[in-house]
Amino acid sequence: MTTTEPTETTTPAKATASAKTTEHAKTTEPARTTEHARTTAPAATGPAREAPAEDTRAAAKAALDAARDHLLGLQSPEGWWKGELQTNVTMDAEDLLLREFLGVRTEEDTREAARWIRSQQAADGSWANFHGGPPEPSTTVEAYVALRLAGDSPDAGHMRRAAAHIRAHGGVPATRVFTRFWLAMFGLWSWDDLPVLPPEMIYLPRWFPLNVYDWACWARQTIVPLTVVGSLRPVRPLPFGLTELEPAPRPGGAPPRGRRLPGWDEAFGALDRVLRVYQRRPAGRLRRAALRRAGEWIIARQEPDGSWGGIQPPWVYSLIALHLLGHDVDHPVMRRGLAGLDRFTIRDETGRRMEACQSPVWDTVLAMIALSDAGVPAGHPALERAAGWVLGEEVKGPGDWQVRRPGLAPGGWSFEFDNDYYPDVDDTAEAVLALSRAAGPEARPAIERGLRWMAGMVSSDGGFGAFDVDNTRALCRRLPFCDFGEVIDPPSADVTAHVVEALCEQGMGDSALCRRAVVWLLKAQEPDGSWFGRWGANHVYGTGGVVPALIAAGVRPGGPVIRRAVAWLERHQRDDGGWGEDMRSYRDPAWIGHGASTASQTAWALLALLAAGERGPSVDRGIAWLTTRQRPDGTWDEDHFTGTGFPGDFYINYHLYRLVFPVSALGRYVNATKGNGS
């Protein structure tokens, strides 16, 4: 079915093809955009023929066999799978700034990171947060500063273009608070012009608003060290300034500082002013005790691999905070932290780049499910190795989730190699599904512990968040400090759907727990028939996850809920037969359901349609999109980002998504059409 895409004028395309980042050869990149315009999402490259109906299943079977073999070939000897988790160049810029701050930056690391950062610059001088996305001011400023640190002259052509772009879009004042935090640490911004969060908040009781457990786990692990950094206000000057980034004066002068805002914004503005006064004259003994307590809190949450939560933001800020509290780089905690970053570092012909996180548990359980969908039997050696590795990754110790569920026994799985304080509901649900299909009786105790823990993590409304229960206090979003990324973890449709599917797999579809979750999903359906996708882009991901879960729970395929979802997917199928949704859909409703076709998103749509019993032209065209665009080695190209970290702010290209989800979709299609002549 034809869709009308958002349109816009375009700016020159991104840098050279040699700078592309996925593990496979790339397709042509779409044009970049100005911040006031949108791109017309391009059709995917490759042949656009529609396979005749009688040939569709044979083509699907051949594509499935090739993709299955490619996926099997990517398994590690230990049993896990892990694709690159690609984000944006702020990871690399901040890594260089961290090393500069700690005095451990090397010439080689700097040279290679700078080469990667340069390769990602757009022709207009900017950097984006995702492939094909619009210029992002904070990312552009951080990349520019990192290149100045690497020795790039402000008179070089690429630096002049970057500086001109920054000036034209508001200069440093237009960046987010976190960017200006980094600049303040090097004397490039005034600490007096940053919002204040005092370390004394570590003492707020758990019932009090804005205590550290009101924040999502990723946010609290970032906020606590930042309270230390913001209270100590370090300045380690760099041998350059940023006068070339100062924007031209606004007509009529700058807007007045401290302008009044309505409602809660006004209240939090007043709170910030009070905290600024306290910051100038804090209670000495209380401040020292709070800093000491914050340091202990940080150290207690370091993972065995040296990380904090297995993710970049709390990791770098924790190292800086501990260093300011007196831990030099030779301290065991600091040594582990710096050494652990090496495992998150990728070096290849494009330079040196950092992963913001790693996803081996997630990738492995998705691969196990995909291989099961492809017909690989439970006793297959690859699945046995994978199941053994997953069982070894079960989280059996305490964590922050116990603050709201103190009586709940440990269980479940986390996302990363090491993140034992923060297992998550999403990974646990998929691990239960994977082990149920691919493992033997030895997995039963772990499955039961995972189910018990997962069931205990239900929120009061019947839905499920990722890491915490009832982590919904939206006041956290109102603080002037929080202008980047989601800082709470409310229930979401995609996580709740995965829980429902896991419960049904275990014969618990009639339980009160599952029924309440199904009701939650029914209420969460959008008026247009789709579901919002919290952890993947976006309504295609949400709808692709919810429909199979509802069908598994007994919702009738012919009922209005499923029919509305099917109609939404069919309306948003692209002319080329695939599906795609651009990351801009999180901020601009015009992009909902629209974007360049991708392998992962096409597979998500097909999984929903197949679960709903669809076998008509939409499914055939989607399958044909996958079969005609498959690479000779069995996988697919996918430059576009389809994973979500923070809706509206931070996005992910999971390099294994382009393979595991098409394997599942093709496997379910081949199985569903077996013996029907199509």
Domain boundaries, the chain: 52-85+357-475+489-672, 88-247+258-352
* The pLDDT of residue 26: 33
Closest CA to 163 of 133, 134, 137: 137
Which of helix, strand or coil describes residue 236?
A: coil
Residues 6+ apart with CB under 8 A from 28: 42, 45
Domain 52-85+357-475+489-672 shares a fold with domain 88-247+258-352: yes
Within 13 A of 625's CA, how many CA atoms are on the CB side? 29
* The pLDDT of residue 271: 66
* The pLDDT of residue 251: 52
Active-site annotation holder among 95, 363, 426, 494: 426
The answer to whether 582 and 594 are in contact (CB under 8 A) is: yes
420 is annotated as an active-site residue: no
* The pLDDT of residue 8: 33
* The pLDDT of residue 28: 31
pLDDT along the chain (678 residues), means of 10: 37 31 33 33 38 77 98 98 96 97 97 97 97 96 98 97 97 94 96 92 91 91 95 96 85 42 60 73 90 97 93 94 97 97 94 96 98 96 97 94 94 92 96 94 96 97 96 80 81 98 97 98 98 97 98 97 98 98 96 97 98 96 98 97 94 98 98 74
* The pLDDT of residue 586: 96
Concatenated DSSP letters of 570-636? HHT--TTS-----GGGGT-GGGTT-S---HHHHHHHHHHHHHTT--SHHHHHHHHHHHHS--TTS--
Q: What is the CATH number of domain 88-247+258-352?
A: 1.50.10.20
Q: What is the pTM of this model?
A: 0.89
Domain 52-85+357-475+489-672: state its class: mainly alpha
The answer to whether 81 and 385 are in contact (CB under 8 A) is: no
Residue 354 is encoded by which pair of tokens?
């950092």
* The pLDDT of residue 196: 87
Q: CA 296 to CA 105: how far, in whole Å?
A: 27
Q: CA 408 to CA 398: how far, in whole Å?
A: 10
